[in-house]
Amino acid sequence: MKKKEFNLEDIPGVGPKLAEKLMELGFTDPMSIAVASPGELASILEIGQATAGKIIAKVREMLEIGYTPADKVLEQRKNIGKISTGSKALDDLLGGGIETQAITEVYGPFGSGKSQIGFQLSVNVQLSPEKGGLNGNCLFIDTEATFRPERIKQITEAMGMDPEKTLKNILVARAYNSDHEVFLVEKCSEIIQEKNIKLLIVDSLTSHFRADYTGRGELAPRQQKLNRLLHNLQRLADSHNIAVFVTNQVLANPAILFGDPTMPIGGHVLAHQSTYRVYLRKSSGDKRIAKMMDSPNLPPGECVFKIAPEGVRDVKQE
């Protein structure tokens, strides 16, 4: 199905003023309206929910969003891009790299390589498709104050790229609490098209949720807000054809006496919403082990890669 082109003002019920407001709030593409909820659109535009529902329904009709034969869905998936992680073994585990129109989650204990993969991806996305990139830029939401431009520079120099140009193409925002994190994700639409963004990184997704909501009594509101955030991330991935890469913290389950007690934060909400879920753990030296925990189309498996001074790389077979 070829995407139809039309202006926001062409949508019945959306005049020049509403169209201008939508543009200001980042709804520059009709598809971003089509995948919005009536409640969300009503709140943003300060209109009735019934009116918002009619606008969304009309946009979906104009875009011809509905049932599609599976062979055409297969054809549409040819537009999906992949970003190399820097390790062929890890790329193979992921089916060719980090995929657009999907949320890829990696979780593991501290030092397992989660942020390092994010740093490598923020550089690799700027490469040409032939070299494992998407000729695009990166948005990086840092919730743990662990973003290090010095590390980006080190990776870039090892790849023979221009460090100054590479750093300018990575737009970084520090999130100070879960509300701020949600706000930053909602603001992403405004700059994705303007800045040619092809990758959105959240490192880490659950850090502030873990700190802001403590105790069983706050579990329900935490999960509701997390669910909203994840749906916003998926909407961005779908409407703009970008890759979303999130890291996640872990906890130890004391009920598990034998085997690995490590569990990811976020519960079933995050488990269901992540398209690809990968568990990272340390091995000897600079080696790391990645295990595919969940995927809609890839088999379970493991691979070994390393975190080297020059970035994420394969382990050379001796």
Exposure of 173 by Cβ count < 10 A (0-12 exposed, 13-18 middle, 19+ buried)? middle
Whether residues 87 and 47 share a domain: the answer is: no
Residues of the chain with pLDDT under 50: 1-2, 318
**Domain for residue 70, yes or no?**
no
The number of distinct structural domains making up the chain is 2
As beta bridge partners, residue 308 has 311
Residue type for position 55: I
Distance CA 207, CA 197 (A): 24
DSSP-based three-state secondary structure for 279: strand
pLDDT computed for residue 154 by the predictor: 98
pLDDT computed for residue 117 by the predictor: 98
pLDDT computed for residue 318 by the predictor: 44
> Domain residues for 23?
8-62
Q: pLDDT tens across 249-277, in order?
A: 888 776 666 667 778 888 888 988 999 99
**Domain for residue 69, yes or no?**
no
Half-sphere exposure of 1 (CA within 13 A, CB side): 13
Whether residues 163 and 282 share a domain: the answer is: yes
pLDDT computed for residue 6 by the predictor: 66
pLDDT computed for residue 1 by the predictor: 41
Residue 34's domain is classified under what CATH number?
Answer: 1.10.150.20
Whether residues 54 and 85 share a domain: the answer is: no
Whether residues 158 and 99 share a domain: the answer is: yes
Whether residues 240 and 293 share a domain: the answer is: yes
pLDDT computed for residue 22 by the predictor: 80
**Domain for residue 72, yes or no?**
no
Whether residues 27 and 149 share a domain: the answer is: no
Whether residues 218 and 86 share a domain: the answer is: yes
Residue 194's domain is classified under what CATH number?
Answer: 3.40.50.300
Whether residues 101 and 233 share a domain: the answer is: yes
